[in-house]
Amino acid sequence: MGYPDQRFDVNLSILFTELPLLERPAAAAAAGFTAVELWWPWTDTATPEQSELDGLRKALKDSGTRLVGLNFYAGQLPGPDRGALSVPGEESDRFRANIDVAADFAASVGCKALNALYGNRVEGVDPAVQDELALENLVAAARAADRVGAILLIEALNKPESPLYPLVSAPAAIEVVDRVNAATGLGNAKFLLDIYHLSMNGEDLAAVIDAYAAKTGHVQIADNPGRGAPGTGSLPLEELLDRLRKAGYDGWVGLEYKAGDRPSARSFDWLPESARPAH
C-alpha cells in the first residue's frame, strides 16, 4: 500500500503555472507523469475560439499526457469567484453556454470527469433561488457529461478560504450529488473529495472517507497547513489514500497543491519516479 499504489495526476492550473498553459503538459510529462487535470483554463470566456481548444488538445497529445479532469467555466478562478452555475444573470448564462463546449472538448481528449463548481452566495439574492438555478444547471451539465460518457463532479470547498461558497462540508456536497442524481436518473453525479478543503473545515477525514467513498468520483490532495506538497504539513495523506483504496475507491488522485518558492518540477520529491506514470 502507500503512494505507489495510487493513480496520480497533476493539476496544471496550480502546478507549472510558471509556464504558459500550452507548455505545461510537456513539463508534467518531463517530471514523469502521464495524466493531468485542469480548472477551466480560459477564465475570461466560457466559449473560447476553436483554435484555443485545438491548441490545448495538441499540447496534450504531443506530450503524451491524458486529461482526466476538467472544470466547467467557473468565473475568475483563481480569483474571487468559486463557480458560476448558481449566480443569476450573466454568469449562469456563461455556464450554460460552456456546458457543451467543455463536454465536447472532454470527449475529444478522452477526459471522463467534469467538475462543476457551485458558485458563491450573492448578496441580495435568496439562497433558495440560487439553489433552484443551481439544480437546473447541474442537471443540464450531468446530461451533457453523460452524453460523452463522463461523470459530473460536485466539490466541497473550505469556509476559511471560500466564505461565500455554500458547500463547505462533505454532507453539503453529497446532498447536491443526491439531488442531481434524483433529478436526472442517470447516477453520474459524484463527489469530488478534496482532502485539503475538508481538513480546513475541521472534518473527520477518516469518517468522511468511510461514509462517502462509494459516491466519490475524484480525489484531490494537498497538505495542511499551507496547501503544499505531501510532507510539508501534518496530514497523514498516505494513510488517508490507503483508507480510500480499502473503501473501494480506485480512481484518480489529483495533485492540487502549491509548489511554494521552488520550481514545480522540484515539488514531487516525495513521490518516487516509478509511482508517477498512471497505471
Assign 9 to helix, strand or coil. strand
Residue appearing with cell numbers 475538508: 198
Known catalytic membership, residue 37 = no
Can you tell me the distance from the alpha carbon of 34 to that of 56, in angstroms, rounded to the nearest whole number? 16
Q: Which of 37, 91, 203, 256 is catalytic?
A: 256
| Nearest-angstrom CA–CA distance, 137 and 179 | 12
Q: How far apart are CA 171 and CA 191, in angstroms?
A: 10
Residue 269 CB coordination number (10 Å): 11
Distance CA 22, CA 38 (A): 12
Give the DSSP per-residue string, 213-242: GGGEEEEEE--TTTS-STTSSS--HHHHHH
Candidates 155, 161, 175, 238; catalytic one: 155
Helix (H, G, I), strand (E, B) or coil at 66: strand
Q: Supply the Cα-derived Rg of the chain in whole angstroms.
A: 17
256 a catalytic residue: yes
Q: Answer whether 58's CB lies under 8 Å from 25's CB.
A: no
Provide the annotated active-site residues: 155, 256
